[in-house]
Amino acid sequence: MVSPRFLTRLMASLGLLAVTLTPALADTTLLNVSYDVSRELYKDINPAFIAQWQARHKERLSINQSHGGSSKQAGAVIGGLEADVVTMNQAPDIDILVERGGLVAPDWRKKFPHEATPYRSISVFLVRKGNPKGIKDWSDLARPGVAVIVPNPKTSGNGRYTWLAAWGYALRQNKGDEARAREFLGKLFANVPVLDGGGRGATTTFTQRGVGDVLVTFENEAVLIDKEVGGGQFDVVYPSVTIEAPAPVAVVDKVVDKKGSREAATAYLNFLFSPEGQEIIAKHHFRPRDAAVLKKYAARFPAVPTFTVESALGGWAKVQKLHFADGGLYDQIVAKR
């Protein structure tokens, strides 16, 4: 066998350029399984994080995305979709990954700041230009002749937050009377002509198919549509009170341990809480956690009274059982449509 040293000497004697061959950079690929209306956000987050990671680690990194209704996405991960991380819009869609198969650590909320929620959004209304139906508050969505577009609360976190925002509003208006709140939800959902599987499908129904007088969606989605899709065709309306929707994130332990991608996956989620990540989040009209960034972009986020599932509705465990379990209030009310 010819030794490498002999070859080097031979090349030198021949006046040839000696090239030192180094091992190719290792490749790491992450899959972020997320909800419908975060597509544009992660299109900007991903390259920013990749640039940072590769500069620090001298390792190639790619990030793939999967988007859909939040609850549908959780089901896909349970069914075998190998997500390194999940970035959802409601805590139950991560809790179920703990309960079914131990995919995520039970203490996932403690792994990152702010109970592992790098940003929040709120539910708002998008109406057609000039607001021809005069829609100002949740009560207007239950009026006869108003067509409301909202995704299915059984498959979409966006739809679930809409349901709970309307429920919380009705309880406030009726001094906690659940019978009156049920009646209100019945009227509102009688005005829903179609239930899309996720927030992006509902957006398409409203903006491209021209169905409905009002789309109930997250603030960031409403602003995006008004600025980039609408061409001046829509207005954003903030109701008198609305629900706050923190967006939780988690590492999928079983997957990262299998792939050896834990370090990159954890760094990716930590990037969301960094000043650079928070800036990108704010630019996409999600409400950042970083106080300095929130102050800088305060003009994007009108002040509006909000409540949370925990503060006003008894927490997610109660909500899931009362509203969204098989045979719960959602099934009882929507079955009558």
HSE-CB for 5 with a 13 A CA cutoff: 0
CA dist., res. 21 & res. 221, Å (int)? 49
- pLDDT at res. 44: 97
Spatial CB neighbours of 78, under 8 Å, sequence gap ≥ 6? 96, 97, 100, 101, 103
- pLDDT at res. 171: 96
* 40: its two tokens: 């544009």
- pLDDT at res. 207: 92
- The two most distant CA atoms of the chain are separated, in Å, by 94
- pLDDT at res. 19: 31
- pLDDT at res. 7: 36
- pLDDT at res. 155: 85
Q: Which residues of the chain have pLDDT under 70?
A: 1-26, 230-231, 336-337
- Taking only Cα atoms into account, the Rg of the chain, rounded to an integer number of angstroms, comes to 24
- pLDDT at res. 244: 96
- pLDDT at res. 275: 97
CA dist., res. 172 & res. 240, Å (int)? 11
List C-alpha distances in Å: 170 to 135, 185, 218: 16, 8, 19
- pLDDT at res. 336: 66
- pLDDT at res. 315: 94
- pLDDT at res. 106: 97
Q: Which long-range contacts (CB under 8 A, 24 or more apart) does 320-327 make?
A: 320/92, 323/153, 323/163, 323/164, 323/167, 324/153, 324/154, 324/160
CA dist., res. 223 & res. 203, Å (int)? 12
